[in-house]
Amino acid sequence: MPEVAADAARTGQVLSNLLTNALAYTPAGGMIRLSAAAGDGEVTVSILDSGPGVPEEHAAYLFERFYRADPARTRGLGRRNGGAGLGLAISQAYIEGQGGRIWLETGNIREGALFCFTLPAAGHHPLS
């Protein structure tokens, strides 16, 4: 795996946001898979969970500030996931600010949610 051109603190926050969401929506006995792949001058990080997934009609809005796909889904999850709907918007700003992309994969997902983001491999940063 190549090194990436990234801010460790901001990238760590993105991973924390995505993993916190995955943990909150994955039922007991469920699965969360974190993976990375290299190609075309970038590294793609993927987080797949076995939770209820994201309804298609909400996918286009997930990265907007204050957007909550379904506030009822957070009942009983405690304050840990009872935030203001800023985590994905902040994650998008951090990733795009580093020359990457972030998205929810909507095709070929039978169960759960698959969030992905890219970061440029060292020496391939488009903003340099």
Tell me the two tokens of residue 100.
């990457």
Question: Is 127 a domain residue?
Answer: no
CA 115/CA 14 separation, integer angstroms: 11
| Longest Cα separation, the chain | 45
Handedness of CA 64, 104, 70, 84 (dihedral sign): negative
Model confidence pLDDT, tens digit, residues 14-24: 999 999 999 99
Looking at the structure of the chain, the number of domains it has is: 1
5: number of Cβ within 10 Å: 20
Tokens 């901001």 — which residue?
Answer: 10
Range of the structural domain that residue 37 is part of: 8-120
Model confidence pLDDT, tens digit, residues 70-119: 544 444 444 344 555 688 999 999 999 999 999 998 766 678 899 999 99
Model pTM greater than 0.85?
no
Question: Is 42 a domain residue?
Answer: yes
